[in-house]
Amino acid sequence: MLQLILGGARSGKSRLAEKLATDSQLQVTYIATSQPLDGEMNERVAHHRARRPAEWALIEEPLELARVLRENASADRCLLVDCLTLWLTNLLMLDNAERLSAEREALLDCLASLPGEIIFVSNETGMGVVPLGELTRRYVDEAGWLHQALAERCQRVVLTVAGLPLTLKGTAL
């Protein structure tokens, strides 16, 4: 089963994804896409790390998400990817449109063949004002396109607001 959990900053999306992973009763591998490059991001990573069960496996991969999914997906495993917008940011910062396109297509192409349970977490960025800068507008556009393509392929899509899940597609939580 493929699931996409969307929400704003501190909306409860990661907590919900972690609960769904635990409830799956499968072995869980947490795939972290962040690159903690400053103190604030280090604190966020530490907060997530402290909340995760010790028995969960951890893979840190900022760019090659499709490869990691293909290598680790199995019928007895739940992969939790947190988060897609950080992954997208990492690719945008490379300033290599071909690499971004290739990694995005590789991700979308591999989804149908992945066994087990896959839970994606991502920031919903398209509900605010249009950003002033070119890079931030591109980020919002790319995130929106990625979310649309993923939502099309996922069996369940959930928007999380104030810690409350709103099921947009699939069986309600």
157 pLDDT above the threshold of 80: yes
Is 52 labeled as ligand-binding? yes
**What is the mean predicted confidence (pLDDT) over 82-93?**
96
Tell me which residues are annotated as active site: 48
pLDDT(37) > 80: no
Average pLDDT over the chain reads: 94
- How many independent structural domains does the chain possess? 1
Per-residue pLDDT band for 131 (boundaries 50, 70, 90) equals confident
Q: What is the dihedral of CA 10, 35, 71, 108, to 10 degrees?
A: 60
Query: Token pair for residue 160?
Result: 């999380």
CATH number at residue 59: 3.40.50.300
**81 or 37, higher pLDDT:** 81
Please give the residue that has the higher pLDDT: either 128 or 140.
140
Range of the domain at 132: 2-169
Each residue's pLDDT tens digit, 46-78: 777 888 899 999 999 999 999 999 999 999 999
70 is in an annotated binding site: no
pTM above 0.85? yes
Beta-strand runs (E) in 33-111: 57-60, 77-82
The Cα angle at residue 79 between residues 119 and 13, in degrees rounded to 5 = 35
The verdict on whether residue 7 carries a ligand-binding annotation is: yes
Alpha-carbon distance of 173 to 29, in angstroms, equals 22
First to last CA, the chain: 14
